Every structure is written in structure tokens, then in C-alpha cells.
Amino acid sequence: MIRTILTYPNPELKKKSAPVVVINDSVRELARDMAETMYAAPGVGLAAPQVGVHQRVIVIDVAPKGEPPNLIVAINPVITYSEGESFEEEGCLSVLQYAANVRRHARVIVRGLDLEGNEQTWKAEELLAIAFQHEIDHLEGLLFVDHLSPLKRELFQRKARKLAETGVPP
């Protein structure tokens, strides 16, 4: 089922998510719904808080167009190692009509659980590394705009206010 994606400035996006204690049918259904929602949007990642669920669940698929899907579901993901630096343009399904370059690590190692409760380790670089960092930020109540300089963040907020005044979601 496709779920509604919350958009900035919804305060639910700023809340920290709780760890998943038991992986049950409810969590598996959430992950399926999140994947369906992400693909329909379309996007390359989605975190549970973006659909109003404050649990530590993310889905990511950075497979290029025309290639088979390569869905990653990570429960309670944690970055255990990071190195290097990237500065790439990011957008977000919860921050409409805005993109900006964000400084991130170029490579990360992420540990988490799969839908069967098995521990997984993902070694990621390039777009996958960025996607993991972006989605894990959502679990902490952070948006990519929180990584911008104060000036760029103020410009974004002004644009968002102006769009809200015209009735167009930011």
C-alpha cells in the first residue's frame, strides 16, 4: 500500500525514531509499504518517519534505471565506519522543490538487521553511501537541509514560506 509521505515543515519529521525490538508481520508490512511508496514517488530511499512511523526502518534502491531493482531493507541501521568526503546534490521526498549540495562521507559501512532479523553489513560508496547517510539522518530527526550553511538554510526556509503562502507545498 502506498503511504502518504510527510513533507517539510511537518514537525513529525524532526522526531527521533525508536529501535525496532521485534521484527514481526507489522514491521514487514511497513517495509513493503515503504518500498512501494518509494518506487511510486519515485525516489531512491525512504525512512519510516517520512511516512509517520517513528521506528528505525529504511529502504533504499539505487539501481540505475533500466536495471533490475536492488532493494535494501535495513532495520536499526548504524554507521559503523566512514571515510572520505563527497559533496553531491541531494533532494528529498519530504523536501519538495529543493535540492542542494551536501557534504557527506564518501564511503560507509552500515550494520543492521534484515526482515528475518539476521545481522547484515553493507559496504557502501558513492550514491549508496549518500543514501544510507541521508535515510539514517531521518531516523535521528534530521533533514538534508539541516546540513546546509546557515545562509543556505535561511534561503531554503524563505522559499518554503513563500511557497506555503501561495498554497503550494514546499
Q: How many domains does the chain have?
A: 1
Reported as a single tens digit per residue, the pLDDT across 45-71 is 999 999 999 999 999 999 998 999 999
For residue 28, what is its C-alpha cell?
514487514
Q: Which of 29, 135, 140, 154 is catalytic?
A: 135
> Does residue 65 form part of some domain?
yes
> Does residue 6 form part of some domain?
no
List phi, psi (to 5°) of 151.
Answer: -65, -50
The DSSP call for residue 18 is: B
| Cα–Cα distance for residue pair 170/161, rounded to 1 Å | 8
Provide the residue range defining the domain that includes 157. 11-165
Q: 135 catalytic, yes or no?
A: yes
* Residue 87 vs residues 30, 100, 104, 127, 147: alpha-carbon distances, Å: 31, 10, 6, 11, 11
- Which domain CATH number covers 135? 3.90.45.10
| Cα–Cα distance for residue pair 142/148, rounded to 1 Å | 11
> Does residue 1 form part of some domain?
no
The DSSP call for residue 8 is: T
> Does residue 170 form part of some domain?
no
pLDDT in tens, the chain (170 residues): 999 999 999 999 999 999 999 999 999 999 999 999 999 999 999 999 999 999 999 999 999 989 999 999 999 999 999 999 999 999 999 998 899 999 999 999 999 999 999 999 999 999 999 999 999 999 999 999 999 999 999 989 888 888 777 765 54
Q: What is the pTM of this model?
A: 0.94
